């Protein structure tokens, strides 16, 4: 009974490169959420997706950031032209219902040099 799977666990990018973070929700979960954790901060909501739909992206920067959850395959958080301020841990969570309990993955730590 696999939990929420995120990869890569660690990603190093140079400024200007692209970062792609993947999240496979728990089996039977069709709601995916991405949160960002900056150093010494709590997690902050970025985006909420259902299969093939972005429901709420109000917490995601308008530029350089995008997210998708295709019909097949994992959810992807994509950061283009990364800057040092993007260095953070990115957590994915999933739920069976949109008001259901969230189950978190182990996070992907992005370091921008």
Residues paired with residue 103 on neighbouring β-strands, in sequence order: 94
Write each residue from 1 to 30 as x if it is in contact with other proteins (CB under 8 A), else as -, in one continuous string.
------------------------------
The reply to whether 72 sits near other proteins by the rule CB under 8 A is no
Which of 24, 95 has the CB closer to other proteins? 95
Which of 72, 101 has the CB closer to other proteins? 101
Which of 25, 105 has the CB closer to other proteins? 105
Are 40 and 93 in contact by the 8 Å Cβ rule? The answer is: no
In this structure, the number of other CB atoms found within 10 A of the CB of residue 65 comes to 19
DSSP 23-67: EEPPTT--EEEEEEE-TTS-EEEEEEEETTEEEE-TTS-SSSEEE
By CB under 8 A, the count of residues binding other proteins is 27
Q: How far is the CB of 29 from other proteins (least distance, A)?
A: 13
């Amino acid at each position: 009974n696999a939990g929420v799977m995120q990869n890569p666990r660690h990603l190093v990018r140079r400024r200007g490169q692209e970062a792609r973070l993947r999240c496979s929700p728990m089996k039977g979960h069709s709601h995916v959420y991405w949160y960002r954790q900056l150093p010494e901060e709590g997690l902050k909501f970025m985006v909420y997706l259902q299969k093939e739909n972005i429901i709420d992206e109000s917490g995601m920067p308008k530029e350089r950031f995008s997210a998708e959850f295709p019909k097949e395959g994992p959810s992807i958080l994509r950061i283009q032209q990364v800057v040092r301020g993007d260095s953070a841990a990115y957590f994915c969570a999933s739920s069976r219902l949109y008001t259901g309990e969230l189950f978190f993955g182990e996070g992907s730590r992005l370091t921008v040099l």
